């Protein structure tokens, strides 16, 4: 059954015309993930790829294709069944548990549902990300207003999440994700709850963050966004990496 499935999948298309140079931030080396509940259906199946410092790329695929699994492997929420994963020079498959919080300091995460703390102000939500890693009050007082200026929310420091629009809430969550200046920003459906115009503003912001040197990986179903932006696209289909394309398009019927 599994081999029949893989035979019916498209062959991986790789655009080799302008391979990026430099240091890989992320390496997947023949990664397979099988959840015990679905032993015959790998969530990821022999995935190999590299993502380089400063790239901006989309991870696309139907529901259940393995995007969340890919992200959860990167943050070491889960471990692969087979294969190796490196983030910078760290081998996540052999990393000791005590090192995982240090890995996560280097990865900012943004989610579809913002995950803001409702009883904290905008300033406090962002400050909290620095407090939990032991940053001083001085650092917090300098960096939080600075990052909120970058995301265009200087006027909203004292507002609570429920006083903000969806787009503004997503900006707070982006500010929180980057306030510690991680080299890698992962966004899981960042525009999933937003209208097209607001989504465009969020993507502009993510591109601006990318231009400061941050590597940005966005898992999305947002066909229009992917088609308009023409950045690198990695496509998953039933756990297989089926496409890795520079200046790609969404490429699935939705």
Ligand X SMILES: Nc1ncnc2c1ncn2[C@@H]1O[C@H](COP(=O)(O)OP(=O)(O)OP(=O)(O)O)[C@@H](O)[C@H]1O
Residues that bind ligand X (CB under 6 A): 35, 37-38, 41, 43, 61, 63-69
Residue 248 neighbours by CB distance under 10 Å: 22
Provide, rounded to whole angstroms, the least separation between the CB of residue 215 and ligand X. 20
Between 41 and 200, whose beta carbon lies closer to ligand X?
41
State the minimum distance, in angstroms, from the CB of residue 67 to ligand X.
Answer: 4
Please list, in sequence order, all residues whose beta carbon lies within 8 angstroms of the beta carbon of residue 245, skipping any fewer than 6 positions away. 13, 14, 15, 232, 233, 235
- Residue closer to ligand X by CB (options 65, 170) is 65
**Distance in angstroms (rounded) separating the CA atoms of residues 101 and 77:** 11
- Neighbouring residues of 79: CB distance < 8 A, sequence distance ≥ 6: 73, 92, 93
Identity of the residue, 18 or 38, whose beta carbon is nearer to ligand X in the bound complex:
38
Asked if 66 and 44 count as a contact pair (C-beta separation under 8 A), the reply is yes
DSSP E strands, the chain: 13-14, 24-33, 44-52, 56-60, 82-87, 90-91, 107-111, 184-188, 215-219, 232-237, 240-245
Kindly state the helix (H) or strand (E) to which residue 153 belongs, with its residue range. Answer: none
Least distance from ligand X to the Cβ atom of residue 9, Å: 15
Closest CB 155 distance from ligand X, rounded Å: 34
8 A C-beta contact, residue 222 and residue 239 = no
In three-state secondary structure terms, 35 is: coil
Q: How far is the CB of 153 from ligand X (least distance, A)?
A: 28
Nearer to ligand X, 12 or 88 (CB): 12
- Rank residues 69 and 173 by Cβ distance to ligand X and give the closer one: 69
Beta bridge partners of 52: 24
Specify the residue, 176 or 238, whose C-beta has the smaller distance to ligand X.
Answer: 238
Closest distance of CB 65 from ligand X, Å: 4
């Amino acid at each position: 059954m599994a081999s029949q499935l893989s035979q019916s999948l498209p062959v991986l298309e790789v655009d080799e015309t302008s391979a990026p140079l430099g240091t890989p931030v992320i390496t997947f080396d023949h990664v397979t993930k099988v959840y015990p509940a679905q032993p015959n259906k790998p969530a990821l199946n022999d995935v190999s790829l590299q993502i380089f410092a400063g790239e901006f790329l989309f991870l696309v695929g139907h529901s259940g294709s393995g995007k969340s699994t890919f992200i959860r492997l990167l943050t070491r929420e889960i471990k692969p069944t087979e294969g190796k994963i490196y983030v910078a020079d760290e081998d996540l498959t052999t990393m000791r548990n005590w090192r995982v919080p240090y890995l996560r300091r280097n990865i900012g995460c943004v989610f579809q549902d913002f995950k803001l703390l409702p009883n904290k102000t905008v300033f406090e939500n962002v400050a909290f990300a620095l407090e939990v890693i032991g940053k001083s009050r001085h650092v917090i007082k300098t960096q939080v207003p600075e990052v909120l200026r970058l995301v265009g929310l200087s006027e909203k420091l004292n507002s609570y999440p429920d006083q903000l629009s969806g787009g503004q809430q997503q900006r707070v969550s982006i500010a929180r994700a980057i306030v510690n200046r991680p080299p890698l920003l992962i966004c899981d459906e960042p525009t999933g709850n937003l209208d097209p115009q607001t989504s465009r503003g969020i993507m502009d912001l993510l591109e601006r963050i990318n231009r400061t040197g941050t590597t940005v990986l966005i898992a999305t179903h947002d066909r229009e966004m992917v088609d308009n932006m023409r950045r690198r696209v990695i496509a998953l289909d039933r756990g297989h990496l089926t496409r890795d394309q520079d200046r790609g398009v969404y490429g699935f019927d939705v």
